[in-house]
Each structure stands twice: as C-alpha cells, then as structure tokens.
C-alpha cells in the first residue's frame, strides 16, 4: 500500500484541497475513490486510469462523461505519492502549463525538504 500526501506550498496552501473543495459532493467522492485506488495500486495503476506525462510527473485520470478531472502527482522515496494539484480537463491534450505547474511544485517540494533527485 502507498501513502498519499497533498503537496503544500511554503505559505501552507494546498492546491489539491482547494481543487477538491471546488467540486460538488458527488464528484468529490468519485475523485477521492480514485485517489484511494492510487494509494492501493501505486505505479501499477495504468491507463486509462493513470498515465505518465513528463519525467516523474503522472496524472490520475477520473472520467466524467466527455470531460474528466486530472490529479497530478509524483512518487517519492519508497511508497509515497505526492499529489500536486487537480484540474477539470475539457480538451484532448493535457495543457502544458498544468504539467509545468506540477513540475514546479515537485521541484519546490524537493528543494524545501533538501531531497535532490528522486527515483522510483
């Protein structure tokens, strides 16, 4: 089993919490079920439910009709998963700015905790 953590900025903001708070109860419950599935499966959770986007950045893919939610994350030492932020995805491609945001959050996390490179 993997342990899931929500990334927090230096100012104690939590983008995943903010994203979850923006959802109605039904959608939030479905997203939380998929986060639980990620916790249980880790990197064994494959497409169409999870995907590698760029480098260490991955996305949890939660479908809702023709659109879907995405939660960005990376694995960190041992069996830890850091969720960076979430979006409501309306297009076929994941916006580059969201991938870049996830990379920036990961870099910030690693730098603040003096971790350096991570390996899976």
Sign of the dihedral defined by the CA atoms of residues 76, 94, 103, 62, in that order: negative
In this prediction, residue 119 has a pLDDT band, given cuts at 50, 70 and 90, of very low
Q: At 51, phi and psi to the nearest 5?
A: -155, 155
CATH number, domain containing residue 80 = 3.30.2310.20
Q: Report pLDDT digits (tens) over 25-57.
A: 999 999 999 999 999 999 999 888 999 999 999
Q: What pLDDT does 116 receive?
A: 55
pTM for this model (two decimals):
0.91
Q: Is residue 118 a part of any domain in this protein?
A: no
Q: Is residue 57 a part of any domain in this protein?
A: yes
CA distance 66 to 82: 27
Q: Is residue 95 a part of any domain in this protein?
A: yes
Query: How many structural domains is the chain composed of?
Result: 1
Instruction: Dump strand ranges (E) for the chain.
Output: 3-6, 50-54, 57-64, 67-76, 80-89
CA distance 116 to 20: 29
Q: Report pLDDT digits (tens) over 54-73.
A: 999 999 999 987 779 999 99
Q: Is residue 120 a part of any domain in this protein?
A: no
Q: Is residue 77 a part of any domain in this protein?
A: yes
Q: Report pLDDT digits (tens) over 93-108.
A: 899 999 999 999 999 9
Q: Is residue 117 a part of any domain in this protein?
A: no
| Owning domain of residue 45 | 3-111
């Amino acid at each position: 089993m993997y342990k899931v953590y929500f990334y927090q900025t230096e100012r104690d903001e939590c983008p995943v919490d903010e994203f979850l708070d923006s959802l109605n109860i039904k959608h939030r419950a479905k997203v939380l079920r998929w986060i639980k599935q990620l916790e249980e499966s880790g990197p064994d959770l494959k497409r169409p439910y999870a995907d590698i986007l760029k480098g260490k950045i991955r996305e949890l893919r939660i479908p809702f009709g023709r659109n879907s939610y995405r939660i960005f994350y990376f694995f960190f030492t041992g069996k830890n998963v850091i969720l960076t932020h979430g979006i409501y995805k309306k297009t076929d491609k994941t916006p580059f700015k969201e991938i870049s945001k996830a990379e920036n959050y990961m870099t910030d996390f690693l730098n603040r905790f003096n971790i350096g490179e991570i390996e899976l």
